[in-house]
């Protein structure tokens, strides 16, 4: 397995970020401070449109804060870098390259290791994610789950200091999504790479996280950081534990409160939202 000893910390200090157009200025983040701990799996969750992807883009260096600081190991993030790699919501595999060539691309382009070593690590990773038999297939010939696994391998072979996961399993069917969560858990637990994972699914957030960051509505900041002190290694059997249920209840209450605020701001009635939220809690157990 491609392991990494590079474990970096990311810190937001009073970050503000807006979206601009000719007629409109929307404040997305305001006074946003957070800590993505070195060697930990931090999960970001919050209301739809609260700026979760904006946080990913700021850490990746695709965007700059309007105010405040985004730091990695105490140094300002000044632009994109292989040390901070993103796995996006939609596939970003090169369609003209095979599965094997996609994974080989990073170290080959950077010339960070010899081609022979890159080949060994590529084959090791493809075997780890169950794609060794599909090494010569093109992305269009792979299922959605296989493409996700190939993208994980393509990121990990570069040994990034921080992995940024922007709802990477969104759109997968329920069974494939659970399988991908298990693949991802095993890879994280073996590499120990610093991870920030964005999701809209609370159950997914809890099963993965060391720490859960619950965001507010826009203008957004972290409302609360919840330590997910469930033992590792994990699988979905842990969802039956009392501690899992306690964490879920705490997070649901926070998300409920933010949903109420959002409904008031948009003109919906609190009564209607409460009724819908109670149905959601009942359906999810």
pLDDT tens digits, one per residue of 86-96: 998 888 899 99
**Interatomic CA distance for residues 273 and 257, integer angstroms:** 10
Q: Tell if the pTM clears 0.75, that is, is over it.
A: yes
Q: Is the pLDDT of residue 181 over 60?
A: yes
What is the dotted CATH code of the domain comprising 10-83+160-284?
3.40.50.300
Q: In the structure encoding, which two tokens stand for residue 176, read together?
A: 């494939």
Higher pLDDT: 245 or 270? It is 245
The percent of residues in the chain predicted with pLDDT above 70, rounded, is 89
Quote the pLDDT of residue 90. 84
DSSP the chain: ---------EEEEEEEEEEE-SS-EEEEEEEEEEEE-TT-EEEEE-STTSSHHHHHHHHHTSS--SEEEEEETTEE--S-BTTEEEE-SS----TTS-HHHHHHHHHHHHT-S-HHHHHHHHHHHHHHTT-GGGTT--GGGS-HHHHHHHHHHHHHTT--SEEEEESTTTTS-HHHHHHHHHHHHHHHHHH--EEEEE-S-HHHHHHH-SEEEEE-SSSB-EEEEEE----SS--GGGGGSHHHHHHHHHHHHHHHHHHHHHHHHTT--HHHHHHHHHHHHHHH-
pLDDT digits (tens, 9 = 90+) for 118-176: 999 999 999 988 999 999 999 999 999 999 999 999 999 999 999 999 999 988 888 89
């Amino acid at each position: 397995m491609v392991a990494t000893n590079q474990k970096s910390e990311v810190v937001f200090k009073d970050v503000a970020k807006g979206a601009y157009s000719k007629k409109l200025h929307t404040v997305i983040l305001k006074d946003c401070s957070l800590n993505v701990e070195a060697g930990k799996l931090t999960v970001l969750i919050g209301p739809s449109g609260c700026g979760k992807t904006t946080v990913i883009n700021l850490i990746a260096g695709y965007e700059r804060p309007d105010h405040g600081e985004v730091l990695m190991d105490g140094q300002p993030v000044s632009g994109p870098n292989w040390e901070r790699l993103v796995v996006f919501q939609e596939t970003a595999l090169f369609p003209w390259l095979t599965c094997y060539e996609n994974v080989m691309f990073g170290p080959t382009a950077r010339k960070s290791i010899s081609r022979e070593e890159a080949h060994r690590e590529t084959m090791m990773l493809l075997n780890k994610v169950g794609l060794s038999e599909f090494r010569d297939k093109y992305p269009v010939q792979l299922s959605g789950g296989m493409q996700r696994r190939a993208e994980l391998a393509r990121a990990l072979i570069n040994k990034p200091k921080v992995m940024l996961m922007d709802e990477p399993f969104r759109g997968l069917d329920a069974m494939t999504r659970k399988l991908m969560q298990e693949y991802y858990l095993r890879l994280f637990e073996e590499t120990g790479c610093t991870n920030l994972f964005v999701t809209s699914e609370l159950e997914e957030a809890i099963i993965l996280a060391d720490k859960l960051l619950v965001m507010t509505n826009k203008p957004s900041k972290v409302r609360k950081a919840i330590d997910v002190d469930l033992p590792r290694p994990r699988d979905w059997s842990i969802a039956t534990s009392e501690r899992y249920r306690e964490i879920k209840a705490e997070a649901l209450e926070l998300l409920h409160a933010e949903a109420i605020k959002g409904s008031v701001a948009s003109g919906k009635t609190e009564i209607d939202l409460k009724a819908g939220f109670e149905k959601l809690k009942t359906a999810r157990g």
